[in-house]
Amino acid sequence: MGSYAQATAGSLITRRIPSSGEALPVVGLGSWITFNVGNDARARDACAEVVRAFFEAGGRLIDSSPMYGSSQPTIGHALAKLQQPATLFSAEKVWVGDAARGAAQMEASRGFWGVPRFDLMQVHNLLAWEAHLPRLFEMKARGRLRYVGISTSEGRRHAELERIMRTQPIDFVQLSYNLLDREAEQRLLPLAQERGIAVLVNRPFREGALLDQLARHPLPGWAKDIGCEHWAQVALKFAVSHPGVTCAIPATSQVAHLRQNMAAARGPLPDAALRARMARDVAAL
């Protein structure tokens, strides 16, 4: 396992977190729905195999939230089975309207993961961000976190997100961006580059709906030019090839899909002209 990880990790495309220079592979792992399997031991073990394959392929960043049901204990189960991979970059969220309860929630999340601290803590869907962000910055200053961020999804509250990005010293922003949902290109991605904020992309497949739509169509000829054998790789390469994007976080419960996704973090990425063509061609399908 070790030699496989080294061979693949060396060829993985990485981006640097602007605030620190730390490198992250451009494909991470989300956990919305896919890891919410409750007390099903068989399903939890299956998720652990997905996480194993993720680390074997050189992956680092895993993202979750208290909102995601039992996804956090599932991640904790996987990490325990894998004996806490040293390369893990843990990305979590605080999701509570009463900021006074945020610390307890984050501590509960940490307990589920079984990690000494989180690398990144994000305010989920901007909920009570005015109260949460100062506390997160304080935690970062005391070494209890490494990075602070904020998240939204499906294009919601972009105007408010932009205000936060302009006025708050956040390290990360998480937003939705894919071949069809490209609003972030207008202001948020350029702003992230300008302000030195790392960008995590959620919903690169529109929770699978985009892939279901595309599955009826053969891959266009340009897909081979960028080393894509599956539509999922096309969608991921589109998302991560934007210079403002740091890492996309597709979720999956299948090892085969995980490996397809991680393959998108290798090989050539489309340039601006091909990106425009990809978006045009997919929109026309």
Residues forming the site for other proteins (CB under 8 A): 32-34, 36-40, 43, 67-70, 154-157, 253
Nearer to other proteins, 37 or 123 (CB): 37
Tokens of 97: 């309207």
Nearer to other proteins, 37 or 245 (CB): 37
* Least CB distance to other proteins at residue 108 (A): 14
Nearer to other proteins, 85 or 155 (CB): 155
Nearer to other proteins, 67 or 115 (CB): 67
How many helices (DSSP H) and strands (DSSP E) are in the chain? 12, 9
* Least CB distance to other proteins at residue 191 (A): 20
- Pairwise CA distance, residues 256 & 47, whole Å: 12
Nearer to other proteins, 37 or 239 (CB): 37
Q: Which residue in 146, 133, 42 sits closest to 94, CA to CA?
A: 133
- Pairwise CA distance, residues 100 & 103, whole Å: 7
Q: At what angle do helices 2-11 and 41-56 cross, to 10 degrees?
A: 60
* Least CB distance to other proteins at residue 128 (A): 12
* Least CB distance to other proteins at residue 253 (A): 7
DSSP state letters, 129-170? HHHHHHHHHHHHHTTSEEEEEEE--TTTTHHHHHHHHHHS--
* Least CB distance to other proteins at residue 284 (A): 25
Q: How do strand 61-63 and strand 89-94 relate by DSSP bridges?
A: parallel
